[in-house]
């Protein structure tokens, strides 16, 4: 049996360690009220998938580990699973607005795509 080949996104995610900004307070759903940028139907933080992703961002797990775990949870719970492009779009919105930080493995530096 052939091993699956990781996508470009998955290879990049393996070296990124996301964490929520410590100053961010309130529930994740509050992001829906911060402006229209989070109101896109396909990446609403009200989807359990994205809620679970942000909840796991502690700076200790790689983004790939987080996405894999959340995809498995979503499949088991019959929640929708999102494409890598949708996940990247959501992460970029969170990063640009200072909700999360992305650090490169072993570099300790902010990741700027």
In angstroms, how far is CA 70 from the centroid of its own chain? 9
Q: Answer yes or no: is 60 within a domain.
A: yes
| Average predicted confidence (pLDDT) for the chain | 79
Task: Output 67 or 96, whichever has higher pLDDT.
Answer: 67
Q: Where are the alpha helices (DSSP H) in 2-47?
A: 8-13
The reported pLDDT for the residue numbered 110 is: 58
Name the nearest CA neighbour of 67 among 79, 77, 52, 78: 52
Decide if 13 contacts 62 (C-beta within 8 A): yes
For range 31-43, the mean pLDDT? 50
Q: What would the pLDDT profile of 54-91 be if each residue is shown by its tens digit?
A: 889 999 999 999 999 999 998 898 888 888 998 998 88
pLDDT band (50, 70, 90) for residue 39: very low
Q: What is the spatial distance between Cα 84 and Cα 61, in angstroms, rounded to a whole number?
A: 18
Q: Where are the alpha helices (DSSP H) in the chain?
A: 8-13, 48-56, 63-77, 84-96
Q: Is the pLDDT of residue 38 over 60?
A: no
Query: Which 8-state DSSP code applies to residue 62?
Result: -
Q: Answer yes or no: is 59 within a domain.
A: yes
Residue 87 is part of which domain span?
Answer: 28-98
Give long-range contacts, CB 8 A cutoff, 24+ apart: 77-81.
Answer: 77/48, 79/47, 79/48, 79/49, 80/47, 80/49, 81/49
How many domains does the chain fold into? 1
Q: Answer yes or no: is 70 within a domain.
A: yes
Q: Is the pLDDT of residue 25 over 70?
A: no
Q: Answer yes or no: is 19 within a domain.
A: no
């Amino acid at each position: 049996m052939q091993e699956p080949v990781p996508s470009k996104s998955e290879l990049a995610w393996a070296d990124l360690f996301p964490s929520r900004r410590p100053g961010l307070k309130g529930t994740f759903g509050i992001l829906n009220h911060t402006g229209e940028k989070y109101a896109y139907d396909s990446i609403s933080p009200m989807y359990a998938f994205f809620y679970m992703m942000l909840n796991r961002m502690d700076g200790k797990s790689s983004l790939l580990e987080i996405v894999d775990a959340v995809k498995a949870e979503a499949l088991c719970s019959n929640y929708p699973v999102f494409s890598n492009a949708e996940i990247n779009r959501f992460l970029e919105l969170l990063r640009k607005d200072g909700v999360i930080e992305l650090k490169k493995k072993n570099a300790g530096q902010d990741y700027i795509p």
